[in-house]
Each structure stands twice: as structure tokens, then as C-alpha cells.
Amino acid sequence: MAIRKIRIEGDPLLRKKSREVTEINDRTLELLEDMKDTLYEAEGLGLAAPQVGVLRKVVVVDMRDDEGLLKMINPKIIEKSEETQINIEGCLSVPDESGYVQRPKELTVEYLDEKGETHKMKCDGYKAVCISHELDHLEGILYIDKKIEVDEEMLESEELLENEENGDTK
């Protein structure tokens, strides 16, 4: 078990693109374990490898639901809805801040698990938000790049989900 240091906005590494994992080896498994420990230590919902200084397409997500911890290698969004949702987001790499972001309401993500098996997962709600947020990290994108100003009228029309509590812990 090892807690890795989380990179904070301003660190140029957070702006770089991650490369695909070409071979799932001991280092990959160790990275996933450390990312899990770091995620729980920071009480976040998701963490992407660049946030701990590794430019590889590796993400962990735990929505604290029945599914538990998801370890995703080379995740990519293969389908997304045109319909969108607006939610409050935060990021472990941007401490003490939050903001509204518009993202697809539903998406399907394809990824490899630790054994190299391919999974396709359809998700919606805040899980879709979280996965979209983490995958952005792999492209060097932070949620603050997508932050929007919202007025109340807009929120009513977009059926804002009540996720303020979750919002600042990714």
C-alpha cells in the first residue's frame, strides 16, 4: 500500500496527454493499487494516473455504489448521448474549488480490466460525469477548462442533479 502525491493544477504534467498501456504488468498493477489507496485517502470518487504523475491511460473510480471500485485501463468513450446534464464538479488536483460543467447524460465506456479483459459499461447520472471527468485528465483537460456560468433558469431546464456533496471530491 502506498499513497502517491497528487499533482496540483499548475503542474505541467496535468496538461500532457497520457499514452495507452501496451502491456499490463506488475508496474501497472502496482499503479492501480496505489491509485486506489490514494483515492480513498483523499476521499475522492475518481482518480486518473496523470494526477499522480504517471502519463498512462489508467483510471480508478468508486461511486460508493454496489459496483464498488472500477479499475480501468485504456478507457475510451465509445458512445455518448446528445442529451446533457449540468452538475457541480470538483477535482483533487484543483483543491477547494468547484464549478458547473455540462456533460453527456449517458455514455458507454470501453476499457480493459487488470486481467486484460475488455468491458463495455453504460452509465448515466453522476457516474457518467465522473468517468467523463477522469477521461478528460488523460487528454490533459481539467474541468475548469469546461466550467460554465449558469443561471437558475438554465438549471431548471437541465434538471440539475443534487450532487453538491459529491461535487468537490474528485
Residue 49 grid coordinates: 494516473
Which is closer to Zn ion, CB of 51 or CB of 66? Answer: 51
CA distances (Å), 153 to each of 54, 60, 157, in order?
41, 35, 6
Which is closer to Zn ion, CB of 95 or CB of 116? Answer: 95
CA distances (Å), 129 to each of 22, 31, 63, in order?
27, 23, 11
Could you list the residues that contact Zn ion (CB under 5 A)?
91, 170
Report, in Å, the least distance between residue 166 CB and Zn ion: 13
83 in catalytic set: no
Given the residues 30, 67, 134, 165, select the one marked as catalytic.
Answer: 134
Report, in Å, the least distance between residue 146 CB and Zn ion: 11
- Name the residue number minimizing CB distance to Zn ion: 91
Buried b (16+ CB within 10 A) or exposed e, 72-102: bbbbeeeebeeeebbbbbbbbbbeeebbbbb
Report, in Å, the least distance between residue 162 CB and Zn ion: 20
**Enzyme catalytic residues:** 134
